[in-house]
Each structure stands twice: as C-alpha cells, then as structure tokens.
Amino acid sequence: MGRVPVLTFVAFRPQSLPPHEPLDRSLLAFGAHPDDIEFGAGGIVARETQAGRPAHFAVCSHGEAGTNGTPAERAREAEKAAKLLGAKLEFVDLDGDSHLDLRNAHALRLAAVIRAVRPGIVLAPTPEPNQHPDHWRLGQLVRDATRIARYGGVAELKAQTPHAVGQLFFYALGPGAEPRDVSPVVIDISDKPIMTAWTKAMEAHASQMKTRNYVELQLARARVHGLNAGVAHAQLLWPNDPLVFHSLSDIARGARRF
C-alpha cells in the first residue's frame, strides 16, 4: 500500500501586508470560467485587496458551454463580481468553454499575461483531474506559463521583460479537486468585511444559481475549513513550491492546537 499523506495546515491572518511585501506586487488569478475565481478563492482575494494588494483576474472563457447564462450575461456578472472584490478583469480567449486543450501556444499566451501584470503571487485551479477538464488543464497551463515567463530567450515573448513570480498557489472549486498529497495553506477569511465582499461577489453570478446554490456550497466549505483550523471561515490554497519564510515569527500558528 502507498503511504497515506498526513495533511498539516499553516494558517495566516494578516491585518496588512508585511513590510517586506511591496504593495505593487499584485495578485494575478486565473479562471477557466467567469465564476471560478470567485467561488474557489474569492474570500482570499477579498482579504488581499482589502489589505491593499492590487488584484487582476484573467478569465479564459465566457462560459459559453454552460447550461445557464449567455456569454454576454456571464461577462457582465464577472465584471460586477471583480469590482466587488476590488480586482481588475480581462478575458483571455483560448479554445472556449469545455474545449480547452494543453497546447504550448496557450502557455505562451498566459506567460504574456504574467509578464504584462508582473504579479508577486499567481492563483490558478488545481491540476487535479477529478473536476471540470478546463479547470485542471488551465492549472497545468498556468504552471507552465509561470516558468516560461521567466525565460529571457523565448522568441514569442521578446517584446516583454521576463518576470518571475514569487509563488504559484492552486485553489480548488470542490472537494474532488483538492490535492491529497500536498499540505494546504489555510487563509482565515472570517472578518465580516471580507465575508460580505466574497458573498456578494459569488451572488453576482446569479445565472449559475438556477441549477445549484453554489454560494451556500462554498460558504459551507469555508465554514468546515475554518472550523478545522479553529476559526470561523477559511479557504485553502496549495503551494506549487515549498514556502519560504523570513523567520519563524512569520508563521502565525498551525491549525492543530497541541
């Protein structure tokens, strides 16, 4: 039998950005569909923007394959939600909803977005396969793009200055997308202004509530994750690379209380 991973948690609850993290190091979040970022990491985005960090959303389809909502309607919903979270929004046309393929040309396109925004932190859906195929494929493409964005000799990107991000984190839109072999980072989003902004941003995607109440689903997930960490509400991120801290004092606490 394979080893069963033991998940541990690191919880963060910053009141403002630490002094060694300049405000111009923005957060760039990628989503395969117009509502992915809000449902999967909207509370985290709200915490960061309310602390002063600029945020930019790159959405890679207009949700045109969805059962509910037209592409135009979903674009309007995404614009409203991004505004509620204090983020800028752009649409990056790739293959279209439910047609996303793993192609190097797409990784190059996303690397160009990274070079243009020049973020300190990048968010993307997890590459776990047990979810919408656009989600895991976009996660893999973003992982490739963060590497390509660093390389100064890429001919297709010569017009832009190379850029290395500080960290790539993955978010999960449901339990099936949560990695089982990586310890998550727990972000405390319990503060009322954060929860209010996040809830309103999810509610902005009203067309998607006709099939299932995704707002209640994500709020319930955040409640469970929060209780597991000893706070009211939390969202999880999975780091692509080991986390580096300046000192032990930068680590507030773990979820397990001894």
Whole-Å CA distances, 206 to 45, 54, 70, 246? 20, 26, 12, 43
Q: Is the pLDDT of residue 237 over 80?
A: yes
Tokens of 66: 């969805």
Range with the lowest mean pLDDT among 180-189, 196-205, 220-229, 242-251?
A: 242-251
Range with the lowest mean pLDDT among 12-26, 106-120, 130-144, 186-200?
A: 12-26
Question: Which amino acid, 209?
Answer: M
Picking from 106, 227, 239, the residue whose alpha carbon sits closest to that of residue 171 is 239
> Chain-wide mean pLDDT for the chain?
91
Q: Report the SS3 class of residue 214.
A: helix
Q: Is the pLDDT of residue 106 over 50?
A: yes
* Mean pLDDT for the stretch of residues 167-175: 97
Higher pLDDT, 64 or 19: 64
pLDDT of residue 43: 98
Tokens of 193: 């202004």
Q: Is the pLDDT of residue 125 over 90?
A: yes
| pLDDT tens readout for residues 40-93 | 999 999 999 999 999 999 999 999 999 999 999 999 999 999 999 999 999 999
pTM of this prediction?
Answer: 0.90
pLDDT of residue 258: 60
pLDDT of residue 91: 98
pLDDT of residue 253: 79
pLDDT of residue 78: 98
